[in-house]
Structure 1
Amino acid sequence: MTAPLLDIHLTDDDLTAALRTDARTGLTASPKSLPPKWFYDARGSELFERITELPEYYPTRTERALLEQVVDEIAAAAQADVLVELGAGSAAKTRLLLNALTAEGSLKTYVPQDVSASALRGALTEIAAEYPDLGVHGVVSDFTDTLHNLPRGGRRMIAFLGGTIGNLVPTERTEFLAGIHEVLEPGELLLLGAGLVVDPAVLVPAYDDAAGVTAEFNRNVLHVLNHRLGADFAPDKFEHVAVWDTDNEWIEMRLRATEAMTATVTALDLTVDFAAGEEMRTEISAKFRPESLTTELTAAGFTPTHTWTDPARRFTLVLAERR
């Protein structure tokens, strides 16, 4: 077994600097907003794992069931030497791909990418032990602006699963897909998992569960600001809001101030006023129609070659080749 490699292109200081920038920009904007990546400290990650197990939250189990059903087809079509996974985290569902690609006989290297060095270290150790013949090369980076740090060589397939593409607004998606196109060679592949537009009666409860776990997850961004930037937000004074935006076809999560209040962000020397009832956007989760996803991929220089969709048409996996 070869010892796994770990490239670190993003340090805790880098993350703190990015948080400072995002917090200052978002908290001084009108309307206020914060990027969803700041939900995910250790507590936020734990809360999200709980969300994926809730009866209302169908995306994770739907994607996994679909992946289980078609993973052998993906492996046969891809013939990938290298599997790159963006936002790998603990690399839990990656084993489906690793097993299928290994059985296909093509896979030589697994490259998990994540912002969390601790999560990656744990995943690297486990994967290297489970797949002793596989090279494992972790990359600590932010996939939105450091794709150029991914290792090159071999026929690569980049996997971007979980519907995370929906957290990007259209201009960000365009930039992201252009960045993927730039780092891949012609003929290399992108495996994209995306949520589809479904009945809002099914969709909205997935982001506003009866047990209130998503509400706690949403408020966790304020705990992160308190902990990392010395802020004094009162998270319990904010209500969780999840609405379906028909025009943009995305779920929007917000935090609504239940009373007028003022918060101080010590690290930014910033005072933030909230009016009673004022809402701050913390996440979008765009849902797609198959034709719109094809259009975006084609515009970015990809040719979708295979598409798989679950029987209820709630989630899709698209294998696209870089032109």
Structure 2
Amino acid sequence: MYRFRRVLLTLSLALIPAFAGSAFAQSAAAPSPMLAPEASEPIQKLNAIMEQLQAKASSGEATSAEDFAPEVAALEELLASYEGQVDEDIARIAMTVAMVKAQLGADLDTVVAQLESVTTTYPGTQAAAMAGQMLQRAAAAQAKEAAAAKLVGSPAPEIDFTWSTHDGLTKLSDLKGKVVVLDFWATWCGPCIRSFPQVAELTAHYAGSPVEVVGVTSLQGKVHGLQPTPIDTAGDPEREHELMNDFIAAKDITWTIVFSEQEVFNDDYGVTGIPHMAIIAPDGTVRHSGLHPAMPHDEKTAMIDAILEEFGLPVPTSE
């Protein structure tokens, strides 16, 4: 459910500038074309409310959703004043109401109902199409989240490795008997790269312990981070593998890196975004999934140490 809300929120932040003068996402340096004099009366009224909302948000005086209640009420009243009118402008107002509510943390059912209303009340409009897109993507994320939740406590789905820095490592089950920390990542993923110091710290903490940190990626057709522009490796897996050695050296990677036969956005592990970390017990069961590698070090080690203790394996002493 959390991921479902996160997808709706991410999409609302991305799409809202297309529907209103500027909620929280659009800068003053890039004014909306909606502010042009030729804007229709409904859109001019919408922009006026959104300008008030943005001004309040920018002032720093509003610290909770309740502080924006007058603006939300004004948006709802504006939409109600055009009840029965079906066109692009009114659909835009309805979509803005839904997105503002999503950003302000409204009850998920309320946001979904608002989006569904846009699709049914204003069919054929741009707003209806975008509302449908948001609902479809969020529903897909929710399905993956549900699958990931069922995964915890179940046997870890097999992952086949086509290339590895660990000699002889060809599949995930080869590591059975150890605690395995999987970090799904790619060279183009900024948050993945920024979390490398935390992954290195975790690797160093468990040096000499039955804990294996494994960075899982898959063929992407390009390698980022070695030159000012990405290096094209489409159709040349051997070249991409070779460049990974250069990437590992350039980024001081100290943990195992593998290319998986499966996509890095691995459905079996509910990977809808990267980085995505999972922790597997020595018996091959998944104990945690959907973690971020940059989460606090103490939280990660507490999870791993608990598993080591459960299986009677040595736990590193604190320095």
TM-score scaled by length of structure 2: 0.27
Richer in helix (by share): 2
TM-score scaled by length of structure 1: 0.26
Richer in strand (by share): 1
Structure 1 or 2, whichever has the larger Rg, is 2
- Using CA pairs under 8 Å that are at least 6 residues apart, name the structure with larger relative contact order, 1 or 2: 1
